[in-house]
Amino acid sequence: MAAPRIRVGLMGASGSNPHAWANSTHLPYLLSGAGQKKYELVAICNSSIAAAEAVVAAYKLPAKTKVYGSPAALATDPDVDFVVVSVNVATHYDLVKPALEAGKMAYVEWPLARNIDEAEELAALAEKKGVKTVVGLQGRVEPLVDTIRGIVESGRIGGVLSSTVVAAASQMAPVETQGMAYFLDSKVGGSIVSIHFGHLVDLVQTSLGEITSFQSLLANQLKTITIVDGKTREVISAAAPKNTADHINLHGFLTSGVTFSFSLRGGPQFDPSEPALRWYIYGTKGEVEITSSSVFLNMSNNIRVRIKDADGKIQDVKVDDGGNVGPAANVARLYEAFAKGDERLATFRGAVQRHQFLEEIYGGKLGEPVIFTSRV
């Protein structure tokens, strides 16, 4: 007998913006044939009932789909098993806490919360209630991870000596649109450290092993940036203050003894036609090069893998993604993995570990212009 479908209450979909993260990644899976075999979208929750109703209308959801204007109301619905929170990180804590208190399973996008204290409280509450949780670190189900592991385990490049990542984040240039304004204040929880670097370093560790020791240098080189309208380019704020880092440098060792280094900066890459990210895995017999049009490898953005064997010959390596690429593909894989109880996924407790790491590289001094930390 097939397992009963998991009944989902979704927060964050938009009735007017098809590019909202929930619309472009969660809804495609939940409304697909594959998604509906394991899940049933039974409720939409937004900032108001009217906003929730707009989603139901825009996506022609069944008339029986329930609509809510508050997380507390959604949490009390006995027909909802699984609450999905896909909104700005600043509201994660307030939106998911009622669901946990009501004993619901929960999915929250990364970062789990604005800070380590909120993340720890949510993880502890989930454990107290005995509910399954998952955080949207989609890189853990990115097919690239299996490709890298396969190459390393095959011995094709020999023993791995080092891993080097150099990338441009695209966001946090001197001029940004208003959509990036929440990246400016460390108290909000969103930044290229927590989001861009957070996703990337999680995928690297999933591929090659956990970081055991490191030294880091974070810098806030742009104390202010210009905020403009995304459509008209009209200046909204000529000098919006910023206290989040726009340069992240990190080097150290992984559990395997492999040395690693990261260099991630804000702003676009030097040449738009060239990769925004280059990742090298160097071994005793060869080397792997991973390139991407974006720092977000967890979104499957035009990833290319090449390998150089001991004879110096360079060949492309196919990533076995089944032809399914892009942000929605890995969100779908995450849903599938959650339904199967896949232990690769990050629970709220696992997310706390990543929050702790980010706190550690900051040295507990969020917002300082230059921050140097060391764990040896």
Average confidence (pLDDT) over 235-256: 94
Average confidence (pLDDT) over 14-41: 96
Residue with tokens 């996008």: 109
Identify whether the C-beta of residue 46 lies closer than 8 Å to the C-beta of residue 52: yes
Render pLDDT for 335-351 as a digit per residue (tens, 0 to 9).
Answer: 999 999 999 999 999 99
* pLDDT at 366 > cutoff 50: no
Q: State the helix-helix crossing angle for 198-208 and 143-154, rounded to 10 degrees.
A: 30
**Residue 74, pLDDT score:** 98
Coil, helix or strand for 30?
A: helix
Q: Can you say how many angstroms the Cα of residue 138 is from the centroid of all Cα atoms in its chain? A: 6
> Looking at the whole model, is its pTM more than 0.85?
yes
Residue with tokens 């967890």: 298
Confidence of residue 323 (pLDDT cuts 50, 70, 90): confident
Q: What is the mean pLDDT of the chain?
A: 93
Average confidence (pLDDT) over 206-214: 94
Average confidence (pLDDT) over 28-50: 97
* pLDDT at 365 > cutoff 60: no
Q: What structural domains does the chain harbor?
A: 6-131 (3.40.50.720), 142-320+354-375 (3.30.360.10)
Confidence of residue 15 (pLDDT cuts 50, 70, 90): very high
Render pLDDT for 83-108 as a digit per residue (tens, 0 to 9).
Answer: 999 999 999 999 999 999 999 999 99
- Supply 185's token pair: 């204040």
Average confidence (pLDDT) over 281-308: 94
Length of the chain: 376
Average confidence (pLDDT) over 159-186: 93
**Residue 1, pLDDT score:** 60
Average confidence (pLDDT) over 267-283: 96
* pLDDT at 188 > cutoff 50: yes
Identify whether the C-beta of residue 50 lies closer than 8 Å to the C-beta of residue 17: no
For residue 261, give the H/E element and its range.
strand 259-265
**Residue 371, pLDDT score:** 57
For residue 75, give the H/E element and its range.
helix 71-75
* pLDDT at 203 > cutoff 80: yes
Identify whether the C-beta of residue 98 lies closer than 8 Å to the C-beta of residue 45: no
Confidence of residue 368 (pLDDT cuts 50, 70, 90): very low
Average confidence (pLDDT) over 271-286: 96
Percent of the residues in the chain that have a pLDDT greater than 70, as a whole number: 96
Average confidence (pLDDT) over 230-254: 94
More confident residue, 299 or 62: 62
Highest mean pLDDT: which of 1-5, 262-266, 325-329? 262-266
Q: State the helix-helix crossing angle for 348-362 and 116-129, rounded to 10 degrees.
A: 160
Identify whether the C-beta of residue 9 lies closer than 8 Å to the C-beta of residue 45: yes
| Cα gap 118→115, rounded to integer Å | 6
* pLDDT at 243 > cutoff 60: yes
What's the burial of 349, exposed, middle or buried (CB within 10 Å: 0-12/13-18/19+)? Answer: middle
- Supply 120's token pair: 């720890």
